[in-house]
Amino acid sequence: MKFIAYILTFSLALSFVALPLGVLAQTGLPGDQTEVSDVSTAAGLVEAIESIVDWVFTILIIAAVFMVLIAAFQFVTAGGSADTISSARQKLLMAVVGILLAFFAQAIPLVLENMLGDL
């Protein structure tokens, strides 16, 4: 039951963060020229992957911040319970791993550029 409550709380918090991002997803105002990257070239592929990695980075950082806040709340409200403190430590460790993974994901476009050569 607690797991379902955590999932519902996390999804509700994430929806409040993701809702304003829907406004940013608009294609532009009428008359605006929007460029679409051409993924048939190596440079276009790297540009598209950079865009995807930037979005994933943002989402992972936001999720990690929420996990740190949840872990901090559990630490504060643990009341000396070893199980709650252990659970909070696990959440904090997973948040740190998520942040590190997000930063390492930023290197993917650089690795692709080096593998594909001069663009």
In a domain, 63, yes or no: yes
115/84: higher pLDDT: 84
Q: Which domain holds residue 63?
A: 40-119
Q: How many domains does the chain have?
A: 1
Nearest C-alpha neighbor of 18 from the set 53, 66, 50, 74: 66
In a domain, 74, yes or no: yes
Statement: residue 91 has pLDDT above 80: yes
CA–CA distance, 79 with 75 (Å, rounded to integer): 8
In a domain, 50, yes or no: yes
At 103 the pLDDT is 87
Most distant CA pair in the chain: distance in Å? 62
- Report whether 53 contacts 109 (CB < 8 A): yes
In a domain, 83, yes or no: yes
Report if pTM > 0.85.
Answer: no
Q: What's the token pair of residue 52?
A: 């995807």
